A and B are shown apart, each in its own frame.
Chain A
Amino acid sequence: MAVSAYLQLAIRILTVAVAVSAPYIFAAIGEMFSQKSGVLNLGVEGIMMLGAFVAFYFAWAHENILLGIILAIFVGGLMGLLMAFVSVTLKAKQGISGIGLFMFGWGVAGTLFRLFVGGVQSISGLQDLNVSGLTDLPYIGRILFSHNILVYLAFLLVPVSWYVLYKTPWGLKVRAVGSTPRAADTMGINVTKIRYQCVILGSMLAGLAGAYLSVAQANMFASDLVAGRGFIAIALVYFGRWKPFGILKGAMLFSVANGFQRWFQISGIAFPYEVTVVFPYVLIIVVLALSHKKFAEPTALTVPYDREFKG
């Protein structure tokens, strides 16, 4: 291949990677807020399923994508409320309640799909939005500015959530509550309230991530649409060490690796495709394993707060 062909290939892989990374960013940033406040929400995958279905349904039956997206966020919020109630108020084990939430969202979405839609239906989906002036920039324009509006929103979410977490009073409270809730409590911070807010916010973003998959990426719904992306998002939170820009890095790395392996599959190079498919996942595991010592895990993660417990 000539040099320009490599360049074209790189641009193509990167362009796809930017678009594909958006749902990971939404879901992982959401999960980051939840975990920063001390709640491990393993239900992301289920929330994404339900969000994907709700957005798809309104886009298909009512031809209203915007309404679909808004309702997906709303339903995500409701799932978050349920998760918060079970794990913050009832102090249930978060690993188990999260898995319960996952199964619930997964089952409900599949059932509703069979009930109200039945078979594979495609929709027109969100259109790409060219940004005047920027889209025409050489290379960069295509890679960064030839996407639908949700992609821009996802990339905007990264600096915004960084600012919220590190520069606002609310973000300070979140960081305190997830690390030392007792200290936060003695400073007059309502631990329960902050945790509810974070879990609900995180779940709303997971709902949005699900909506992205159905109305902006696949333009359809199927019961295996989410395909483990919710769990990858959780891994990305660890990968990014609970920092928005770290999560962005992880989401991009994973998406580029994914784009690369897809190209590899169709490139005609003789190599078992089963091995190339696992490449991005192996990469994530390797990076996770190598970087574990520098973790800045919220110390109260998964620990329900009880004012009268001393241990």
Chain B
Amino acid sequence: MGKIQSMEMVDITKTFPGVIANKDVNLKVESGEVLALLGENGAGKTTLMNILYGLYKPNGGKVLINGKEVNIDSPQKALELGIGMVHQHFMLVPSLTVTENVALGIKFKSKFSMNLDRVAEKIKKLSELHNMNINPNLLISDLSVGERQKVEIIKALYHEANLLVLDEPTAALTPQETDQLIKWLRSVIGEGMGVIFISHKLNEVMEVSDRVEVLRNGENVYSTKTSETNIDELARNMAGRDVKLPTAERKSKYGEDIVNLKDVWAKNERGIDALRGINLNIRKGEILGIAGVSGNGQKELAEAIAGLQKIYKGEIRFKGENIANKSVQQIIDKGMGFVPEDRLHMGTIPGFKVKENMILKDYLRDPFSKIFLLDRTYINDYCKSTVDEYDVRCPNINTPTHALSGGNIQKVILSRELKRNPDALIASYPIRGVDIASVQYIHEKLLEARDNDMAILLITEELDELINLSDRIAVIYEGQILDIIDAKEADKSRLGLLMAGVKEGVS
């Protein structure tokens, strides 16, 4: 089969036990265009793409390529047809090299040997052609997130994909990497590639796409040219209602310092200094935003305050007491809340029920347990009302947590942390990969907590989020706080420069 000129999905229906994930969904993309596929978490985008890629078998509907019906019953078939997919969670084997990962999809002529040198050679050529600078001999585990994505793209290019599906490609990228990716996308659609672009970031969608298709509850609800719509319109169609992201009301007075870091030094897992003399204070009733390209010490900073990361110099005062290197339990007991970066594995125990994760920090305490026994009735009532209050979309409170979408898992974590009413909260990337309606909810909750005098440390890569929510923004670069600016005076270009390590008047 030749190049894909057009790909059409017609009346696709897919049901899982008890759930209709896609209902008569239609989608069309042509070569040389970017179709943005939008929808909230659980709207059916990923299911639809998994059908296109041969991972799921639809219950009804058909896929047409260049007008002819095709039966895509395996990823192998999709690859052969020229469909490439960059999954949200990369599909790479960390213990293999770049070359070996690419070779996995190749049908070698001989069963007894494979010419990996030739594969590596071709990867090198592709990498040069597309300006990606990937060394084919490196192990995937030694690559950064951005580089891994490039490997995914090279994998698709190697198999001569000319319809590329990108599932939330920018969720874990730095702003610079995102710009690069968008630039690259422009160049390949110029050469006739067709692209399906899934993202929650509506400004990116406006920037990169030609057309938009919005799904809600597994059905098509809105289809338009990008030039004929705007962000508010898209958000409204995704959520089924008006979405207005809240912004912090400026305050004139803040309370005393709740958290105070003085000259904090810490080493990361590899033994390299990740925090190099951090000085910070978070005041009562304030959201302090941390801006920075990920990997500049944010993780260590959050975990040092939460007690998960040892520091070897300096002090961390929490309500006046030095909590540096105290146990996590002691710090929790003192009134610290923590929304970790890896929400599924650090924020919850994936195999536990929703209700179990909701009480994970308090199950030993009255009223959740009496003497030594869990009070089931109380726990069930508490969790049911919390699920309603925080709008957690789950079949019931006994559902295993891993079955929930990212936004809903985040709400479970947020409910657990906020309902304990801590004096301080560390929120790491609270909206990463979360749909717009959940973003609105999470932001409202954070602001509500701030207005109730909580001290909040907000770590994120989203500049809009920082500017909307923060009272002050500290920029972290290579383990140091480069500058702290009032959010009123913050603008994106200045933050962008600081994040790149450029301090005005210095360089």
Contact = CB atoms under 8 A, between A and B. Distances in A.
- Do the two chains bind? yes
Contacts of A169: 103, 106, 108, 111, 114
A307 B53 CA distance: 13
Given A175-B93, A179-B94, A299-B95, A185 B55 contact: yes
Given A169-B108, A172-B103, A179-B93, A186 B85 contact: yes
Given A173-B104, A186-B53, A188-B74, A180 B114 contact: no
B103 A186 contact: no
B456 to A, nearest CB: 29
Contacts of B93: 175-176, 179-180, 183-184
A310 interface: yes
Nearest to B90: A183
Contact of A187 (B75, B350, B400): B75
A189 interface: yes
Contact of B87 (A167, A179, A186, A188): A186
A91 interface: no
Contact of A168 (B91, B113, B400): B113
A167 B400 CA distance: 41
B95 A186 contact: no
A99 to B, nearest CB: 23
A186 B72 CA distance: 13
Nearest to A177: B93
B91 A182 contact: yes
Contacts of A179: 93-96
B367 interface: no
Contacts of B114: 167-169, 172
B221 interface: no
A188 B96 contact: no
A188 B79 contact: yes
Nearest to A190: B74
A268 to B, nearest CB: 51
A311 B105 contact: no
B245 interface: no
A189 B401 CA distance: 29
Q: Which of A169, A170, A173, A296 has the most CB of B within 10 A?
A: A169
Interface string B70-112: 0000111101000001010011111110001101111010011
Nearest to B402: A311
Contacts of B53: 186
A311 to B, nearest CB: 3
Q: Which of B53, B91, B344 has the most CB of A within 10 A?
A: B91
Contacts, number: 81
Nearest to B409: A310
Given A172-B114, A176-B104, A311-B351, A187 B91 contact: yes
Contacts of A187: 75-76, 79, 91, 104-105
A309 interface: yes
A310 B403 contact: yes
A311 B350 contact: yes
Interface string B102-140: 011110100111100000000000000000000000000
Nearest to B400: A311
Contacts of A188: 74-77, 79, 105
A106 B85 CA distance: 48
A175 B75 contact: no
Given A168-B113, A175-B95, A307 B344 contact: no
A180 B111 contact: no
A254 B269 CA distance: 35
A36 to B, nearest CB: 11
A167 B103 CA distance: 12
Given A183-B93, A189-B104, A311-B402, A170 B111 contact: yes
Interface string B343-355: 0100000110000
A172 B113 contact: no
A307 B104 contact: no
A186 B91 contact: yes
Nearest to A175: B96
A168 B96 contact: no
A301 to B, nearest CB: 12
Given A168-B111, A169-B108, A186 B402 contact: no
A186 B75 contact: yes
Nearest to B104: A187
B55 A296 contact: no
A18 to B, nearest CB: 29
A212 to B, nearest CB: 27
A167 B113 contact: yes
A230 B483 CA distance: 62
A200 to B, nearest CB: 18
Q: Which of A167, A179, A185, A311 has the most CB of B within 10 A?
A: A311
Interface in B445-498: none
A184 to B, nearest CB: 7
Nearest to A164: B112
B312 to A, nearest CB: 22
A308 B348 CA distance: 19
A183 B103 CA distance: 12
A102 B79 CA distance: 42
Contacts of B402: 309-311
Interface string B44-63: 00000000010100000000
A308 B350 CA distance: 14
A287 to B, nearest CB: 23
Nearest to A309: B402
A183 B75 contact: no
Contacts of B85: 186
B47 to A, nearest CB: 10
Contacts of B75: 185-188
Contacts of B113: 167-168
Given A183-B91, A309-B402, A311-B351, A172 B100 contact: yes
Contacts of B401: 311
A200 B167 CA distance: 37
A274 to B, nearest CB: 42
A84 B401 CA distance: 29
Q: Which of A176, A184, A296, A309 has the most CB of B within 10 A?
A: A176
Lowest 6 A-B CB distances belong to which pairs? A188-B76, A311-B402, A311-B350, A183-B91, A187-B105, A187-B104
26 contacts: A167-B114, A168-B111, A168-B113, A168-B114, A169-B111, A170-B111, A172-B96, A173-B104, A175-B93, A175-B100, A176-B93, A176-B100, A176-B104, A179-B96, A180-B93, A183-B90, A183-B101, A184-B104, A187-B79, A187-B104, A188-B79, A188-B105, A296-B95, A299-B95, A311-B350, A311-B402
Given A172-B104, A180-B93, A187-B75, 8 more contacts: A168-B111, A168-B114, A184-B93, A186-B91, A187-B105, A299-B94, A308-B16, A311-B344
